[in-house]
Amino acid sequence: MSLWTAQEIAAATGGTASADFAVSGVAFDSREVGPGDLFVAMSGEATDGHRFLDQAFGQGAAGALVGNPTDHPHVRVADSFHALEDLGRASRARTQATIIGVTGSVGKTSAKEALYAALERGWRGAVHRSVKSYNNHTGVPLSLARMPRDVRAGVFEMGMNHAGELSALTAMVRPHIAIVTAIAPAHTEFFPDESAIADAKGEIFQGLQPGGTAIIPYDSPHRDRLIAAAKPYADRIVTFGFHPAADIRAVEAMRGATGGSFVTAKLGDKELNFTLSQPGRHWVSNALAVLAAVDAAGGDLGLAGLALAELGGLAGRGARFRTANGALVIDESYNANPASMRATLAVLAEEPGRHVAVLGEMRELGEDSADYHAALAEPIIAARVERALLVGESMAPLAAALEGRVDFVHVPDAKAAREALADIIAPDDVVLIKGSNGVGLSRVVAALRGDTPTGGA
């Protein structure tokens, strides 16, 4: 069965179909278009997707959603971005799946992937999730529009950097289960304090459907604030964490022989023992949130535990590999804020060998940015970092705080970091690479991995 027919797309968007066609996927980036896809040609500030229609159809697109005339099979609408939103809403309206929304200052992509794996283990081929970090005003409707008709569950990541953004996204997703992974300083440039961040994350509960479940981190200092945000909308509130009072809690979490954790968790009157492949206390917390969601969705907790044992690291979020000279690289290059920096440095601390940290600046931290960066000195020292490579202008306060305490090099950008790192890494080193996405440390990771750069429109 097709994902969408031309007539269904036209009905959902109020557009006009030029021909009969059916699509099996949806994409708005011409580089990602594959055979049978619907290409959504959106006009933006930087470029106009209509310029890439020939490329998209050359790659096998079956149809397009357009705002301008074209000779290719299409549905023409007044505005293709709003039409994508309409298509996402239509997908949500037609599904009978259990819908789960995930947000948080840290851990939302990792938790979303872990939850997908946990549910997929029991419901093979019947679970959908947003890919990559498609969690904003374009990524969420795209992820909804891609959801097959007959799945049993859909897992959607939702992000924000301003108040009010999650209200709009959760109204589109309309989850039955809503998770907040954690609250931490992130995008503080746009918020007066951390409580305001908690309020913005709590907006996810506004979209909960009747009978819905809110899943909240018990150990967060903003727990009560999140509970208050959930109460008007949630039929059930479930907390997770390490505290004995949490509804779903880690009774014990021990480092495993292979670097992960062996966890004993209590879920009401149930107890689950499982191995978690990913290391770190933050991953144990993520796993507890995942188990809470699996339980709320009626999934199999035993199979979920098996899936958590098999979970691999995500590129940019904990993936590990060896360089040609044998150094171990921990790839956390996708993003960074003060909480996630501390968490991954704590993981580095437990690894045997000489510790090297390549740390990119943390962006969107506002007027307190210098303090947040300088405060990383103590977790760096606690992690027994012997050599640090600091990347970006905002790292200057950290460089000052490390002076005379840790051997470091401070460079302006990822290109300079790539060049400097070649003279730093020795065989059997453990190298942590982490920074805000805009710093571009993924290019450093690619160089260490030996990847060949690729281009695209």
Q: Is the pLDDT of residue 67 over 90?
A: yes
Give yes or no for a contact between 265 and 274, defined as CB atoms under 8 angstroms apart: yes
> How many Å apart are CA 217 and CA 242, to the nearest integer?
9
Q: From edge to edge, which strands make up the β-sheet containing 270-276? A: 127-129, 153-157, 98-103, 177-180, 213-217, 236-241, 248-255, 261-267, 270-276
The total of other beta-carbon atoms located within 10 Å of residue 293's CB is 32
Amino acid 156: pLDDT: 98
One-character DSSP codes across 123-139: STT-EEE--TT--STTH
pLDDT in tens, 419-452: 999 888 999 899 999 999 899 999 999 999 886 4
Least confident range of 7-11, 248-252, 331-335? 331-335
pLDDT in tens, 366-385: 888 999 999 999 999 999 99
- Pick one of 3.40.80.10, 3.40.50.300, 3.30.420.10, 3.90.190.20 as the CATH number of 319-449: 3.90.190.20
CA-to-CA separations, 419 to 422, 428, 439, 443, 448, in angstroms, rounded:
6, 20, 15, 11, 11
Q: Residue 455, class by beta-carbon neighbours within 10 Å (0-12 exposed, 13-18 middle, 19+ buried)?
A: exposed
Least confident range of 28-37, 309-318, 386-395, 415-424? 309-318
What CATH number should be reported for the domain whose range is 95-310? 3.40.1190.10
Helices 281-297 and 108-122, interaxial angle, to 10°? 50
Residue spans in the chain of domains classed CATH 3.90.190.20: 319-449
Helices 301-310 and 281-297, interaxial angle, to 10°? 150
Please, which pLDDT band fits residue 188 given cuts at 50, 70 and 90? Answer: low
Residue spans in the chain of domains classed CATH 3.40.1190.10: 95-310
> How many Å apart are CA 351 and CA 291, to the nearest integer?
27
Quote the Cα angle for 45-441-425, to 5°. 165
Give yes or no for a contact between 24 and 3, defined as CB atoms under 8 angstroms apart: yes
Which residue numbers belong to the known binding site for ATP? 104-110
Amino acid 187: pLDDT: 59
Rounded mean pLDDT of the chain?
93
Amino acid 453: pLDDT: 43
Q: Is the pLDDT of residue 219 over 80?
A: yes
Amino acid 132: pLDDT: 78
Please, which pLDDT band fits residue 66 given cuts at 50, 70 and 90? Answer: very high
Please tell me the pTM assigned to this model: 0.83
pLDDT in tens, 255-265: 877 778 999 99
Residue ranges of E strands in 373-414: 385-391, 407-411
Residue spans in the chain of domains classed CATH 3.40.1390.10: 4-81
Q: Is the pLDDT of residue 329 over 60?
A: yes
Beta-carbon contacts of 32 under 8 Å, excluding residues fewer than 6 positions away, are: none
Helix, strand counts (H, E) of the chain: 16, 22
Q: What is the architecture, at CATH level 2, of domain 4-81?
A: 3-Layer(aba) Sandwich (3.40)
Amino acid 237: pLDDT: 98
Q: From edge to edge, which strands make up the β-sheet containing 63-66? A: 16-17, 74-76, 63-66, 37-40, 25-27
Percent of the chain with pLDDT over 70: 97
| Stretch 378-396: mean pLDDT | 96
Which residue numbers belong to the known binding site? 104-110
- Residue 262 CA from chain centroid, whole number: 24
